[in-house]
Amino acid sequence: MADPLYPYGNGSQLMASVTSLASTLQQQLADALTAALPDAGTADPLLRRSDRADFQANGVLALAKKLKGNPRELASQVTAALPAGGPVKDIEVSGPGFLNITLTDRAITETLAARASDGEGRLGVPSAADPGTTVIDYAQPNVAKEMHVGHLRSAVIGDAMVRILEFTGENVVRRHHIGDWGTQFGMLIQYLTEHPHELDRRDGADDGEAAMSSLNRLYKASRVLFDSDEEFKARSRDRVVALQAGDPQTLAMWQRFVDESKIYFYSVFDKLDMDIHDPDVVGESGYNDMLEETCRILEETGVAVRSEGALCVFFDDVKGPDGNKVPLIVKKTNGGYGYAATDLSAIRDRVRNLKADSLVYVVDARQSLHFKMVFETARRAGWLGEGVKAHQLAFGTVLGKDGKPFKTREGETVRLVDLLDEAIDRATAVVREKAAKVGLTEEEIVENGRYVGIGAVKYADLSTSAVRDYKFDLDQMVSLNGDTSVYLQYAYARIRSILRKAGDARPVAHPELELAPAERALGLHLDQFGEVLAEVAAGYEPHKLAAYLYQLASLYTTFYDQCHVLSEDNPAEVVENRLFLCDLTARTLHQGMALLGIRTPERL
């Protein structure tokens, strides 16, 4: 589909970054504070958005208290020290020394005009002059197993973070650490070697989904045998050894499962409207050659010690219910390497070869102890130096409507594809209801249904803080009212329709015009886009971008109710200036949604 703004405008455009009014003001106030009180050193004016004026600065009071001066006096000194001709129209000292600050309408419109003239989707947001390299580990399903809602969260949150970080100029390396190694493959391969007819039976299953569901069934059957039959268990363990040693026949079978599973994963990611590139899929098996060395270094440096035959790392603050320390096991008693050895090897690779200075892991909060121990071990071994950040972007559990972990009625894990298909069906029904009025073709209905359905699922995930659990409630997700993606998508489509209806009238900024309160509120919020993105990127918190966009759509709605855009009674400049606000709102919404991985159809 030809959608020029998706994924997002980047690169070849003008790229003139615009300083927000908030940061200009912050700087001017800080300078004025220093001028008024040379002894005070650098002082933070503590600038906040305010309901009473545009901004409120609370730092003056604190400073006066510290210096035992008169807050009101200090406040008026600061006011006098502000540069003339700046964005400040009015400063009012309120209470014991708060400053209520109102900006000129001109400053607001001029700043927005500068944003609008920066490339289509950049909107004056700066790109890091000296970017770092972040390796982000996300979207990591397991071979031969169905994808479930937990894999959805990692994929959705990770994809949004990749987009946001890249937009701020960071070098991003993606790693899909898929589960493609270990005991379970010994089990599965051994089972199929002993039940060859099962292999023949599945030869017909050549499309990804059928191949995957038969693999998943065989995986479960092998698991049952593994848990109940000691001899089969022993044979499976030998099979893992054969796999790790590179026995050709075993390896060939394993490769087949990996290939089939990948075809399936890619089809699900495609449904999710996500680009996953094969070279970025470096699963657990990719670190096999490093495992021995990783363990050897840990043992030689004394970071890991032998305990009951296993190679372990201990931590003073990690203890079990019995009060004994619980170690991180890097090598098992039987000589096998586990999940931890792989993650430690991956850290070495990412820091040394990929030159990461930030490592981000988008992984279920239930693995937090694992990552805490892995990071600490890597620090002790010197693999994670002072300058390298390691962060688990931990996410909570997806719950059913009943508030319990999401399961089918039979108690089975819900297949991710089934959920996505259902979301698309519901969304298509919602789109269809309005389709005649908007004049959508059948093809557009189907396409919009996909964008609305997938957007609904992503947005529900991204709009709550990641660590919190959330309820998977499709009715709520596709609701037109409230904090949903479809609400934002409709807001966008409505603005686009106004811009189409405007005919010859163009969006043009007129800084000389006086602004209505709803225009000021919308304008000041539009001006915050870059700062919100910087905060989201620094703290890995995409929900703050979702909250920003929702507020943007709400402020737009108020503006639209209070300020007629295409009214015959308006002078031409007012129409143009309001269209300008509409256009900038649409572009900000579009770009913000694209950074969350959500499309905004032109007509809905």
**Beta carbons within 10 angstroms of residue 601's beta carbon:** 22
Cβ(336)–Cβ(342) under 8 Å? no
Among residues 370 and 494, whose Cβ is nearest to ligand ARG?
370
Of the candidate spans 136-144, 255-263, 291-299, 583-591, the one that interacts with ligand ARG by CB under 6 A turns out to be 136-144
The residue from 140, 222, 484, 591 that contacts ligand ARG (CB under 6 A) is 140
Q: Which two tokens stand for residue 7?
A: 């994924």
Sheet of strand 133-137, all strands in order from the earlier edge strand to the far edge? 171-175, 133-137, 358-364, 389-395
Minimal distance, residue 386 CB to ligand ARG, in Å: 22
- Lay out the site mask for ligand ARG across 166-185 (x = CB under 6 A, - = otherwise): -----------x-x------
Tell me the closest approach of the beta carbon of residue 207 to ligand ARG, in angstroms.
24
CB of 152 to ligand ARG, least distance (A): 11
Radius of gyration of the chain (CA): 29
Instruction: Provide, rounded to whole angstroms, the least separation between the CB of residue 352 and ligand ARG.
Output: 16
Q: How far is the CB of 471 from ligand ARG (least distance, A)?
A: 21
Nearer to ligand ARG, 284 or 583 (CB): 284
Please enumerate in sequence order all residues whose Cβ is within 8 A of that of 221, keeping only pairs 6 or more positions apart, or say none.
Answer: 191, 198
β-bridge partners, 389: 358
> Please, which residue, 90 or 469, has the CB nearer to ligand ARG?
469
Q: How far apart are CA 379 and CA 463, in angstroms?
A: 33
CB of 472 to ligand ARG, least distance (A): 18
What's the Cα-to-Cα distance from 179 to each of 223, 246, 308, rounded to whole Å? 16, 18, 27
Q: Taking phi first (over 0 means left), then psi (-120 to 50 degrees means alpha), and beta for anything else, what does residue 95 get?
A: left
Angle at 175 between CA 172 and CA 178, to 5 degrees: 165
Closest distance between ligand ARG and the C-beta of residue 179, in Å? 4
Give residues 560-579 in contact with ligand ARG (rule: CB under 6 A).
none
Among 143, 188, 330, 363, binds ligand ARG (CB under 6 A): 363
Which CB sits closer to ligand ARG, 115 or 177? 177
Tokens of 8: 């997002």
Assess contact for 281 and 262: CB atoms under 8 A.
Answer: yes
Helix (H) or strand (E) holding 493: helix 485-501
Closer CB to ligand ARG, 363 or 486, in the complex: 363
DSSP helix/strand/coil, 85: coil
CA angle 256, 262, 267 (to 5 degrees): 135
Q: Is residue 146 at the binding interface for ligand ARG, with CB under 6 A as the rule?
A: no
Q: Closer to ligand ARG by CB, 54 or 343: give it.
A: 343
Rounded least distance, CB 151 to ligand ARG, Å: 6
31's tokens:
């300078």
For ligand ARG, give the closer residue by CB, 142 or 214. 142
* 142 contacts ligand ARG (rule: CB under 6 A): yes
By CB under 6 A, which span of 135-143, 186-194, 207-215, 399-407 interacts with ligand ARG? 135-143
Q: Which residue type sits at 568?
A: E
Q: Does position 137 bind ligand ARG by CB under 6 A? A: yes
Q: Provide DSSP, 459-473.
A: HHHHTS-TTS-EE--
Site for ligand ARG in 318-347 (CB under 6 A): 343
Which residues contact ligand ARG (rule: CB under 6 A)?
Answer: 137, 140, 142, 177, 179, 343, 361, 363
